[in-house]
Structure 1
Amino acid sequence: MATIRDPDVGETFNSKLEEIRSKLLTQAMGEVMNDATAEFSQAHRHYMTSILDTCSKKCREDETMFQTIQTYMEDIKHKRAAIKEKLAEVPEIVEDIGDKENSKENLIKKIEKLKMEQVKERELIDSQNKANKARLKNLNKIKEIFQERLSLEIRKIQGEKLQFIFRNINHKNPESAYTFLLRISEDGVYQMISCDPPLEQAVHLERKLQETNNFSAFLANVRKEFVALHNATKTA
Structure 2
Amino acid sequence: MASIKDFNSTLSFAQARDDVYNTVMKEYTDNVVLQTQFHRQFLKQFRDDCIKKSANKDLLAENIGVWTKGLQHNYALEKEVKHTMTEITAEIKQKQMKINMIRQEIEKLHEQAKSKELMKSQYKANKDRLNNLQKVRLVFQDQLQMELRTIHDAKFQFVFRGIGPDDNRPYIITMGINNDRSYLIFSCQPSIECLPDLERQLQETKNLAVFLSNVRLQFVSQAHKM
Measured against the shorter chain, the TM-score band is 0.5 to 0.7
Question: 1:207–1:109: structure 2 CA closer, same or farther, 3 Å change rule?
Answer: farther
Matched, 1:198 2:191: yes
C-alpha displacement of 1:123? 2.2
Q: How far apart, CA to CA, are the structure 1 residues paired with 2:216 and 2:85?
A: 79
Question: Which residue number in structure 1 is paired with residue 218 of structure 2?
Answer: 225
5+ residue gaps, structure 1: 1-83
C-alpha displacement of 1:127? 2.5
Question: Which residue number in structure 2 is paired with residue 100 of structure 1?
Answer: 94
Q: Deviations over 1:166-200 (max 9, x none)?
A: 12223332x11110111223443321111111223
Aligned AA (2:175): L
Q: Secondary structure at the match of 1:229?
A: helix
Question: 1:201–1:87: structure 2 CA closer, same or farther, 3 Å change rule?
Answer: farther
Percent identity (aligned): 37
Q: Secondary structure at the match of 2:181?
A: coil
Matched, 1:150 2:179: no
Aligned AA (2:221): A
Tell me if the contact between 1:151 and 1:166 (Cα under 8 Å) persists in the aligned partners. yes
Tell me if the contact between 1:192 and 1:202 (Cα under 8 Å) persists in the aligned partners. no
Question: Which residue number in structure 2 is paired with residue 172 of structure 1?
Answer: 166
Q: How does 1:6-85 map to 2 (within 5 A)?
A: none
Q: How far apart, CA to CA, are the structure 2 residues paired with 1:94 and 1:198?
A: 76
Question: Which residue number in structure 2 is paired with residue 163 of structure 1?
Answer: 157
Aligned AA (1:119): A
Length-normalised TM-score, structure 1: 0.54
5+ residue gaps, structure 2: 1-78
Q: Secondary structure at the match of 1:170?
A: coil
Q: How far apart, CA to CA, are the structure 2 residues paired with 1:126 and 1:204?
A: 32
C-alpha displacement of 1:146? 1.1
C-alpha displacement of 1:152? 0.6
Aligned AA (1:210): Q
Q: How far apart, CA to CA, are the structure 1 residues paired with 2:206 and 2:192?
A: 20
C-alpha displacement of 1:150? 1.0
